[in-house]
Amino acid sequence: MISVHNVSFRYPSAKNNTINEITFNVKQGEIFGFLGPSGAGKSTMQKILTGVLRDYSGTVRVFGDEVKNRTGGYYEKIGVDFEFPNFYNKFTAIENLKYFASLYSSKTADPMTLMEKVGLHNDAHKKVGSFSKGMKMRLGFVRCLLHNPQLIFLDEPTSGLDPANARILKNIITEQKKMGKTIILTTHNMHDAEELCDQVAFIVDGRIKAMNTPQKLRNADSNTRVHFRIAVNGEEAERDCLISELGKSSDFQLALRDGTLKSIHSEEQSLEDVFIRLTGRCLQ
Amino acid sequence: MRLFSALLNDVHFQIKYGFYFLYTFFSAIYIAVLLVCPQEYKKTVAAIIILSDPAMLGSFFIGGIWLLEKGEGLHRYWVISPLRTLEYILSKSVSLALISTIAANLIVAASLKHDVNYAMLTFSTFVGSMVFTIIGLIVATYAQSVNQYMILVSPLEIIITTPPILAAFGIWYPALDVFPGMALWHLINYSIGKTNHIEAWLFPVLLLWFSAALLLSYRRIPPAMQTEGGNKV
């Protein structure tokens, strides 16, 4: 679906490249996440993929065609959800969606049905200017699905949402994946990336520092620590060791044999831990 | 179909933001002024009103529209939507030209009544308004605020309107007829019966200005929309 090879890009007003020799592939039906701190080049990469920035070096092929040669028809096939919502504030939600839907030549979904899915159906006739950030985010998400795009770009889709609404959106994203849609998720929310993505790329200073499935990235470091509590002379004591040395731990073996093991948990790395270890940077 | 949708949306936008109310209000004032105006000056005053307001008001409004859409972040959406640059420019200029033409025809119908060539008036006001609106759109892309836009567009408007105003007082040089303001001035005068002769080459002059403005805006709009987000492209 997407094939990016050795892509670099520099804004005319900048001294250095914002994107440096980036290479990756995304298969159809995959959710691919760009994880990185602000200013890392995630949005620029998305602008290259959406055909907005075309003065790049290297090759970017989407749907089999070079993106810099894209025609207007390209935008019939992609949907973009922005981090910062953009609507006519004096128009109602339904007026906005009906207008945006009218720009597509293909048959579009019923805006009310989609709004109902994200809990906005009761606000359909309210002006968007009166919406909260979270409501606008949900409306933007609905807009990017209106024309049933094959490729969806989501930029921080759960930003500003409460946990319940974030869950609804994540469920819809999973549904879209099941329908065979390819999704590019740009985020610095490691929980979203870990839950949703088949593959994530850590991007820092315009370069991909690591790329793999979230599971493999987390398991790459085998030095996971295990913490366990045991009863010693009637009192609880905490012990820990590396997971690879658990079998050799005399305290652990003794507690197992005597039935004095009270609790045990492994301190697995989160994606954020892996990111910090590999890049030396924080995600925020 | 997409152009038609964009056009309907722009008309809807202009109604919502009170543009139609403003045009109606000013048209009523102009009609009142023309009704009390002495007969010998009526056509001259009508020509000045049509040139300076219905035909040129679009160039002021388009700055507000561009900056409002920019403020609402819509330019970021337009660049990834199927709406083409040409459709964007045409829907904006045609929608404003439409309201200008209706206002010009209403003013003339209510105050002059006789010797009016409505087809010619419609053509002149419509094309003239499109030219000035598109010029205003190009200028708006360089402005960061309404105040800055007014500072940038006002000198341009003065340059465009000064020759026709001078012509109304008898100061006229034939070479100035190649400018859009003068070409429009002659066409308006002919359409309201102030003169009974029109140079045929004034039509292509206005259409050439329209083509040139369209071409310039077609090149200017896409990079201007992409500058949002902090990086110049």
Beta bridge partners of A32: A184, A199
Q: Do B81 and A11 make contact, defined as CB atoms within 8 angstroms? A: no
Q: Which residues of chain A have pLDDT under 70?
A: 221-222, 281-284
Instruction: Tell me the C-alpha distance between B4 and A238, whole Å.
Output: 72
SS3 A228: strand
Q: What is the pLDDT at residue B231?
A: 41
In Å, how far is A84's CA from the nearest CA of chain B? 8
Binned at pLDDT 50, 70 and 90, residue B232 comes out as very low
Interface check A82 vs B, CB under 8 A? yes
pLDDT (mean) for B202-219: 94
- Does the interface predicted TM-score (ipTM) exceed 0.90? no
Query: Angle at the Cα of A188 (from A43 to A242), degrees rounded to 5?
Result: 140
Q: What is the pLDDT at residue B229?
A: 45
Instruction: Tell me the C-alpha distance between A189 and A42, whole Å.
Output: 13
Q: What is the pLDDT at residue B228?
A: 57
* Shortest CA distance from A97: residue in chain B: B9
Q: What is the pLDDT at residue A81?
A: 92
Interface check B227 vs A, CB under 8 A? no
Burial B89-102 (b: 16+ CB within 10 A, else e): bbbbbbbbbbbbbb
Tokens of B50: 């049509």
Binned at pLDDT 50, 70 and 90, residue B81 comes out as very high
Q: Please state the domain extents for chain B.
A: 2-226
Contacts of B2 in chain A (CB under 8 A): 102-103, 105
Q: What is the pTM of this model?
A: 0.85
Q: What is the pLDDT at residue A73?
A: 87
Q: Do A95 and B12 make contact, defined as CB atoms within 8 angstroms? A: yes
Classify residue B200 as exposed, middle or buried by CB count within 10 Å of its CB (0-12, 13-18, 19+). Answer: exposed
Q: What is the pLDDT at residue A25?
A: 94
User: Which residue in A8, A33, A16 sits closest to A158, CA to CA?
Assistant: A33
Q: What is the pLDDT at residue B52?
A: 84
Q: Max CA-CA distance within chain B? A: 58
Binned at pLDDT 50, 70 and 90, residue B171 comes out as confident
- The shortest CB-CB distance from A52 to any of B9, B12, B226 is to B226
Q: Which segments within chain A are labelled E, that is strand?
A: 2-9, 19-26, 31-35, 57-62, 65-66, 78-81, 151-155, 182-187, 199-204, 207-212, 225-232, 235-242, 261-267
Binned at pLDDT 50, 70 and 90, residue B230 comes out as very low
Binned at pLDDT 50, 70 and 90, residue B98 comes out as very high
Q: Do B73 and A78 make contact, defined as CB atoms within 8 angstroms? A: no
pLDDT in tens, A120-159: 999 999 999 999 999 999 999 999 999 999 999 999 898 8
List C-alpha distances in Å: B119 to A262, B101, B105, B127.
94, 11, 10, 12
- The shortest CB-CB distance from A88 to any of B13, B84, B229 is to B13
A2, A62 Cβ separation under 8 angstroms: yes
